[in-house]
Structure 1
Amino acid sequence: MKWWWACTPEHDDADDALKAGDSNRKIRLSHPQMWDRCVDFFAPTAKLIMNGRRIRTMLGPELHFAEQMLSVRHGITVEIFPSFEYPDEELLPEAFYFYSGANTLKCDVSSVSLQRPSGKILTPWLLRRWPLLAQKIIENMGGTEFAYFSVLRDWSPWLVSDAVYRDLQPFMRQPRIGELVYDFAAIHRPVKDASIFARIKRFVLRFFYERS
């Protein structure tokens, strides 16, 4: 299986092949740039409607993009049935050791050395499902804007030590009434508090959405 953007022919290559009369040139649609823009919006939106965030043939950032576009540009409040809210993800630490070819790795939070097969995996959707967990990791990284954007933009799984995972488990829950947390899925919503998370959200709002 390939992502659609990975198997789309380069425009320049296709044009050169067409001019050269190459009989083996790649098949493509007319006005490819316009079609690419359509796919950029309609592909994640259609798959979001098909199977919510459980869809496995669309990347997480693309699904979030579809939700934001529906909300900001079209005024549609997206509500996802709990059974389709998040994918079933189960990654084993052994995969990290196998693909790295090493028996010793570092914890992505504490930087302590891990010996095969120890460790636990924090999936990218886990950080979006539990905002308290994401906020705790940001605070552990210094609570800076750099830490915030590192977590926000990172959609790769994190390998953490067993000790770090135990410390983070209490934050894998829904916020209680009165707890101030950052919601990754609501980056465009106005906020009233003056915390660092509120300032960052306002910055992102101005940078991305007022220019759209």
Structure 2
Amino acid sequence: MYLAVLLGLTAVITGCSTDGPSRFFTAQYGAVTDAGYTLPSIPVEKVPSQFRRQIVSYKTAEKPGTIIVDTKQKFLFLVQENGKAMRYGIGVGRDGFEWSGTARVALKREWPTWTPPSEMIKRQPELAKWRGGMPPGLNNPLGARALYLFNKGGDTGYRLHGTPEWNSIGKAMSSGCIRLMNQDIIDLYNRVQVGAKVIVQ
């Protein structure tokens, strides 16, 4: 009995540990089978702790359910009740591809098709083979999920999406999209509603 209780406590501590004001979800980066695909586990010990999914104290006038992207700190905050937010580490646009503004989540897609824009194909002609769309899969640049951002002018062309390149989190490497580890984009996808406000700053 004592051993069972001890093991149970160990599992809880591993899954959601507390470090000051933050709650980490370190056990949430294991292999995931989803829609017939098996996402590999992420070597979370190689991911700086600040970029691991965690609940943090966060003061804002924005309503719960709002997404706030801090491109300088490389964090995405999903505003929650009672002065809290779920925080995720992100990768952002490299020099010359940064952007900021307000948008809304217009579409959500599981295992999306990736279609490189014509401007990207001009820069990287080898991507022309995917002009009609790259099928979903473990190597697809959009990863396991994508949230499509629209503003008053329509589709911004920017996405919040997964990536198989977990080691790009915390860096400026993308063409402007905001990327999360696949296990994190699945978590975010499940929490966010179509129509959610997104602030990129």
Give the TM-score of the pair, scaled to structure 1.
Answer: 0.25
Which protein is bigger by CA-based radius of gyration?
Answer: 1
Greater helix share, structure number: 1
Structure with more contact order per residue of length (Cα contacts < 8 Å, sep ≥ 6): 2
* Higher relative strand content: 2
TM normalised by structure 2 equals 0.26
